[in-house]
Amino acid sequence: MNAPPCPTAPGGVWETDILRYDRSHPDGFRERAVVILERPLTIEVDGTPYTLLRSPGADRELVVGFLFTEGLIGSPGDIQLLRECPETPDLMAVKTANPGEKPRRSLIVTSSCGLCGREDLEAMVAALGRVESPWQVPVAAVCRVSPAVLAMQPLFRATGGAHAAALFDETGKVLCVREDVGRHNALDKLIGHALLRGISLNSAGVFMSGRASLELIAKAARARIPVVAAVGAPTAAAVEAADRLGITLCGFLRDERVSVYAHAWRITASPRAVEADILSTRKESG
């Protein structure tokens, strides 16, 4: 942890010495490498501390997104004070309009799990309610998102260790990208960005660079996001929650392919696919 910051890479990284082996150098050689930072951020919400392991950067968006997806606030207007501590850069103090009993966390929220420590998972999912949105997006537009996001990930290109969350519209245009060592943190940063700018998430899709898990579906439901598309596979819990909460869930979004696991009606086929389906139906019927 004493390595100097990397002067040429984006924020949230360090440089360190490594010993690399490959076919051309079987005896190994030393070089400098860039690694992603993972630092704790403590958020004191009306005196209750929550600690997140995150990549530094967009911390205010992360805090607002986290408070919202945890149900600690209903909108940014519920925050009366959001203060970064100059003496302690990894500490932020928050005062809300409705201090009271908060959802309990018995553990640090790690970069690998956004729901660790929750003691009320079933109640939390049941209370989210269905996402009601008529928004639809063509499958061709969805398939354009992944390569576009990859080109907008400086932290991943520098370290190979960052996840991304991206907001996209019905044409597949990427509106915003946020990166973090944790998938749930990246999504909270994205949601916080939208909340602070008054952007409605009920008519947009969210792309995730990793797998789709329950915590991401829960956060999407809280933000009323109708479509979640992930590069990786979904978990069974994510599929079940998406179906229950009215969220269109896509997985394996890569190489112009995508698998839709829940509420596929929001993903509209291309005219060619529709024509092929009609022809196939006609052949089967006669």
Domain end call among 128, 146, 175: 128
Binned at pLDDT 50, 70 and 90, residue 127 comes out as confident
Over residues 60-85, the mean pLDDT reads 94
Q: Tell me, what's the pLDDT at 88?
A: 83
Q: Which pTM value belongs to this model? A: 0.85
Whether 194 and 158 share a structural domain: yes
Is the residue at 240 inside a domain? yes
Helices and strands counted in the chain (H then E): 8, 14
Whether 145 and 265 share a structural domain: yes
At residue 124, does pLDDT exceed 90? Answer: no
Take residue 184 and report the two structure tokens written for it.
């749930």
Q: Tell me, what's the pLDDT at 252?
A: 97
Tens digits of residue pLDDT in 92-115: 999 999 887 665 554 445 555 555
Domain containing 211 equals 137-271
Whether 251 and 177 share a structural domain: yes
Q: Tell me, what's the pLDDT at 120?
A: 58
CATH number, domain with residue 202: 3.40.140.10
Q: Tell me, what's the pLDDT at 5?
A: 44
Tens digits of residue pLDDT in 260-283: 999 999 999 865 554 554 455 456
Q: Tell me, what's the pLDDT at 9?
A: 47
Between vectors from CA 15 to CA 11 and to CA 19, what angle results, nearest 5°?
A: 150
At residue 78, does pLDDT exceed 80? Answer: yes
Q: What backbone phi and psi angles, to 5 degrees, belong to 282?
A: -65, -40
Whether 157 and 264 share a structural domain: yes
Whether 90 and 142 share a structural domain: no
Angle, to 10 degrees, between the axis of helix 236-245 and the axis of helix 121-128? 30
Whether 43 and 32 share a structural domain: no
In the Cβ-directed half-sphere of 68, how many Cα atoms lie within 13 Å?
30
Whether 77 and 195 share a structural domain: no
Whether 8 and 119 share a structural domain: no
Is the residue at 277 inside a domain? no
Q: Tell me, what's the pLDDT at 51?
A: 92
Over residues 51-67, the mean pLDDT reads 95
Whether 157 and 224 share a structural domain: yes
194 close to 176: Cβ distance less than 8 angstroms: yes
At residue 15, does pLDDT exceed 70? Answer: yes
Domain end call among 77, 101, 128: 128
Is the residue at 283 inside a domain? no
Q: Tell me, what's the pLDDT at 255?
A: 86
The domain tally of the chain equals: 3
Q: Where are the strands (E) in 91-162, listed by range?
A: 91-96, 137-138
Take residue 261 and report the two structure tokens written for it.
């696991």
Q: Tell me, what's the pLDDT at 236?
A: 94
At residue 7, does pLDDT exceed 50? Answer: no
Whether 88 and 149 share a structural domain: no
Instruction: Name the β-bridge partners of 72.
Output: none
Is the residue at 276 inside a domain? no
At residue 4, does pLDDT exceed 80? Answer: no
Whether 184 and 94 share a structural domain: no
Tens digits of residue pLDDT in 153-206: 999 999 999 999 999 999 999 999 999 999 999 999 999 999 999 999 999 999
CATH number, domain with residue 78: 3.10.20.10
Which sequence positions are flagged as catalytic?
A: 113
Whether 146 and 261 share a structural domain: yes
For 150, the 3-state DSSP assignment is: helix
